Amino acid sequence: MRRGTWHQCGDRSQKLVQEQLGQGNGVGAIISPRDLAFQNAEAYADEYRTLGAEVLLDQQFYIPDFANENLASYPVSQHRAAVSQMNQISDASLDVLADDLELSNRKLGVSALIAPAVIYEAARGDIVQLNARMFSAAKRAGNALGVPTYATVVLGRSVTSSMQTLSPVLSQVTGLGADGWYLVFQFDAPRIPSAQDDVERAGKVLLTLACTGAPVLHAYAGPMSLLSLGFGATAAGVGHAQNTWQFTPERWQTPSGQGGGGDAPARFFSTGLWGTVIYPDETAVLPTAVQAQVMAHSPFSTAVAQRPPQDWSRWDANKHLVYVIGQTIGEIAEVSTARNCANAAVDVLRRAVALHETIHSAGVRLRDGTNNYQANWMAAIESTLRDAIADYNYLEMLA
């Protein structure tokens, strides 16, 4: 697994990822079958590899009876069914699943095979067993391709809400003998995880998986990817849409109404604040003395950098967000150890907290709750550095 930023593909992200890779941002791409037909996935995978990126295919089996037109175009679609039916899958059907996994991943030229898995839930031994059986089928496919096989670990909220519910699932998962881990952690948060306890639990899971000696990709990490490598991950998945900033099962359920967004203004992601600022309403009223600290630019924010600033689309704001987060994670990835990556993240957060305080003291109130999590994240990672010394020492020994 290449170390650094991986593009978490989603709705309308394929060309965006291509453009980001062309700018030297990111080391890999995770194809989303929900949002891209199989034939098109083959073409984009070729493009991404040409641009020097590795490619992974996440079968997105989390809710296995969800279906749409894109998913139906993949060989594995014939195996989708309700969990109750999946629990009855025969060994012969698992052999066919292995063949279909091999076929789809071979055509995309993946660097590793991500095993399908449904969401782990508390006190669901049937799901543990089902995921173990699907992992065995995936491992046969990965071996046939000659690539590593990563276990998908999708931890639902009934599991992630406490260490008491997490520990037995982690004990089962780490016995799979995976070549790597594709971690999906569900938070109870509307936009960006903010609760210190939740973030610490996610960090503990990442460290536990990393201490197996196998690489960990923290999927759907979004802005929280700042912490991922400090918690022992090798890589983090970053996407432009908020539904790729954390795992939301609703994305794999039938929509119940109209989508949102409308004419919402563009948000400028500030690496100085490690959060978003509304453009131009909020950026225009920032104190002149702090504007340069807040508005670090990218190749996609040239309109904002002009004097006077020009119109800037939400789409270009999305590109800017992916670029600046990706570049920051890429820089952290160059740090040698998880402990040092954690300290690098703390430095970013400490500056962000101070800058938010400066803006608040100037009488400016930023919307979006964009200052609600930085101090909690910093406390979570500092607490983990203290409490998990043995894990950090072990990771350094493995290195």
Domains delineated in the chain: 4-252 (3.20.20.300), 266-392 (no CATH)
H helices present in 242-299, as ranges: 288-294
CA distance from start to end of the chain: 15
Residue range 45-58, pLDDT digits in tens: 999 999 999 999 99
The strand pair at 149-155 and 180-185 is best described as parallel
Collapsed DSSP state (helix, strand, coil) of residue 76: helix
According to the model, what pLDDT value does residue 255 have? 55
Residue range 264-307, pLDDT digits in tens: 899 999 999 999 999 999 999 998 889 999 999 999 999 998 88
According to the model, what pLDDT value does residue 256 have? 53
Collapsed DSSP state (helix, strand, coil) of residue 121: coil
Give the sheet arrangement for strand 113-114, strand by strand. Answer: 54-57, 28-31, 4-8, 235-238, 216-218, 180-185, 149-155, 113-114
Distance CA 305, CA 323 (A): 16
**In the chain, which stretches have pLDDT less than 50?**
257-261
User: Residue 100 is which amino acid?
Assistant: D
